[in-house]
A and B are shown apart, each in its own frame.
Chain A
Amino acid sequence: MTGPDEKGTLMRPDTPRLVGEALTLGYDRRTVAEDLTVAVPDGSFTVIIGPNACGKSTLLRALARLLRPARGTVLLDGADIHRRPARQVARTLGLLPQSAVAPDGLTVAELVSRGRYPHQGLLRQWSREDERVVDRAMADTGVAELADRPVDELSGGQRQRVWIAMALAQQTPLLLLDEPTTYLDIAHQVEVLDLCARLHEEQGRTLVAVLHDLHQAARYATHLVAMRDGRVVAAGDPQQIVTTELVEEVFGLPCRIIEDPETGTPLVLPTARRRSVPAA
């Protein structure tokens, strides 16, 4: 099983494992978000959306322990994530960053193996458990037959699945993904999101993803966080919160919302500038 490990937590049962409280976030002197509070419901597929530069990736970086908040705290299992050792956090919370680089010539199996780092030690470099978990992660993401291929020879969609496999091999109950569909064509976008949904449903992992596409977000998320200008405008079940008013407020886009005929989730249709005249 590559499923999450059930570490006992000293939490009140109603508090989610990952919470950002009153966060002020920024780089150097530029503040991106102020007094931001978000909770990631346990067992959810949470998707963060918003226009460019609204602070959604910055928020994800803070939740992933990559960015230290200027004010406020990110709590993982009730403890300040920045006061806990990196390796310990990496056994609970995995990350698929935007900027990952595969070194020249590294094979798929070697890359996925690197996901075991937080579980390894100087004298415990490759246990049978490591091997089993890596094989399972490659099977779960459909990259097992690529195991001996160099990562830099793969297509964009395959490569993204390999990186997800690496994060899976980390065996974390929480997995954060920063724009996992960027630069992929539509078929590979759906492939990656279907994989995420499967990991969420079948393995019970809590997923947090930053996405651009509102339609995909509404389709896959069980919990949607809509941001604009460093604020959370709305958070909740997409069925309930995706309205024309929300899309107008968040993206400044006039639209209609209909039911997605495939899934019954909200489908956002931008208002047409002009209607085409049907041919006679």
Chain B
Amino acid sequence: MIVLRLPGGLSLRLRPRALVVGLAGTLLALGLAVLAVGAGDYPIAPADVLRVLAGGGSPADRFIVTELRLPRLATALAAGAALGLAGAVFQSLTRNPLGSPDVLGVTSGAATGALTVVVVGGGSAALAGAAAAGGLATGLLLYALAGRHGVGGHRLVLVGIGVTAILTGVNGWLLTRAPLMDAARAALWITGSLDGRGWANALPVLGALAVLLPAVLLARAPALRLLEMGDDSAAGLGVPVRRVRAAALGSAVLLVSVAAAAAGPVSFLALTAPHLARRLTRAPGPNLLPSAVVGAALLLAADQLAQHAVAGRQLPVGVVTGVLGGGYLAWLLAGERGGRR
């Protein structure tokens, strides 16, 4: 722990290791992004990519970079960061390493919203809006059922698993009701995919991050850390427990909802990113910023794998995050059971 003291009584406390992880993760994500923009059927050298980003480059390069590839990358980075951040907040609030928005039903709720639009009919804007609304409604339901008494993690996880089960059933029913063509589109959406994403998909997530990252991260991180010691301890130290929990839960649900609206309910990312971040920083507490950075890098990397791993055939990114994230988690838990930490 290093302490930075500035004149005027200002002081900041920083963990060097968390700082290094955050910076390295950011550089890695940005470096990957430059390579990713260049990769594809029309390869562009990294130097040309940088030239375009700096405002130059040939008209063809410019079009491909800014209109075709950059929006998809921005969507991947923003949705990954949003999911990583939301996952960290959820795991901290539930005091449970498995208490992620996928397990608690928020992403299933977003899927229900999207599927309803598929059945009823509507464009991609309506689909994204309905997905966000579905996630938010599920978040409200969770809070009404479990957050009311100021009750912590345990109850939220149990209620969430119940809500997930119900929504999975509803989603299955909706899929059988959808016309065949639409059912294929819906199945793709449910898996989570970044295919053909434009700026209209990326901007809402970037906007939500720009507002909620400072609001959740800077203002609430110390209180969230104290909440991990139990409601009573936190209250004794002067944390307004209910208000902090409601604000943090609300922000996390909003982030998951807009991320799902943009990229679909990408599985396992919100669960895996905070675990990986904590392993890297070795710091107690929610590890919010490292989780966001790791989430962004992971989703970007997974999307590149999805596009280029199988030659001539693109996979939905949710397949990659599901297989890799699930595998990583199983390996992690098996290792912990064996006493490694």
Contacts and interface: CB of A to CB of B under 8 A. Distances in A.
* Bind each other: yes
Interface of A: 61, 64-66, 85-91, 94-106, 110, 114-115, 117-118, 120, 122-128, 167, 170
17 contacts: A61-B232, A85-B238, A86-B241, A91-B238, A94-B236, A95-B233, A96-B236, A97-B233, A101-B228, A101-B233, A103-B228, A105-B282, A105-B284, A114-B226, A123-B10, A123-B12, A126-B11
A191 to B, nearest CB: 22
Contacts, number: 95
Contacts of A128: 5
A124 B226 CA distance: 17
Interface residues of B, number: 31
Nearest to A99: B230
Contacts of B285: 103
Nearest to A87: B238
Interface in B233-262: 233, 235-241
Interface stretch (B98-106, B217-225, B290-298): B217-225
Most chain B CB inside 10 Å of its own CB: which residue of A86, A114, A120: A86
Contacts of B229: 100-103, 114
A32 B269 CA distance: 46
What DSSP secondary structure best describes chain B's contact surface?
mixed
B225 A114 contact: yes
B228 A127 contact: no
Most chain B CB inside 10 Å of its own CB: which residue of A61, A64, A123: A123
B238 A103 contact: no
Contacts of A85: 238, 240
A86 B12 contact: no
Contact of A90 (B5, B9, B222, B238): B238
B13 interface: yes
B237 A170 contact: yes
Given A99-B230, A103-B229, A125 B11 contact: yes
Nearest to A61: B232
B60 interface: no
B238 A125 contact: no
B310 interface: no
B227 to A, nearest CB: 10
A104 B225 contact: no
B13 A125 contact: yes
A104 B282 CA distance: 10
Contacts of B11: 123-127
Nearest to A102: B229
Contacts of B13: 125-126
Contacts of A66: 232, 235-236
Given A90-B238, A101-B229, A117-B238, A126 B284 contact: no
B3 interface: yes
